[in-house]
Amino acid sequence: MRLESVDCDGHAFFFSDDGMLELEILHVFPFDSVRKRMSVILLHPLTHQRVLFCKGADSSVFPRLRPAIDPKEVRVVEETQRNLHGYARLGLRVLVMAKRVLSEEEYTEWVEEHKVAEVRVALPSVRSKA
């Protein structure tokens, strides 16, 4: 899948082998210098899966990956890390991408926790204005 465009109504358009897909953007977490990554959660229109995409510095993304167990996955991770080190030796900055499909339970639980966190962050500013 390749991202084609994003509209102002919260939809991302991708090209895939099946043609154009329109995915709903559920959440966007902008890049910041603390996280060293940005993330987005999209809703797939056909499978109704919620998919988390994360883009950022390898030092921020790699520690959060599921450990590679399958020998093929291990080789891919090792080769990717060798390439990243080679790019770094050349003075190049790189970003890596990760993807995870969230189960319905995971997503629902996360949304509830996120709402609580948003309220906690907002409360000090509400109190100071009162």
**54: pLDDT confidence band, cut at 50, 70 and 90?**
very high
pLDDT of residue 78: 93
63-69 CB contacts, 8 Å cutoff, 24+ apart: 64/98, 65/98
Cβ-based neighbours of 45, under 8 Å, separated by 6 or more: 21, 22, 23, 24
The proportion of the chain whose per-residue pLDDT surpasses 90, expressed as a percent, equals 47
Q: For residue range 83-126, what is the model confidence (pLDDT) as tens digits?
A: 999 999 999 988 999 999 999 999 999 999 988 888 888 876 65
Q: For residue range 60-70, what is the model confidence (pLDDT) as tens digits?
A: 999 999 998 99
- Fold category of 2-104 in CATH: Calcium-transporting ATPase, cytoplasmic domain N (3.40.1110)
- Delimit the domains of the chain by residue range: 2-104
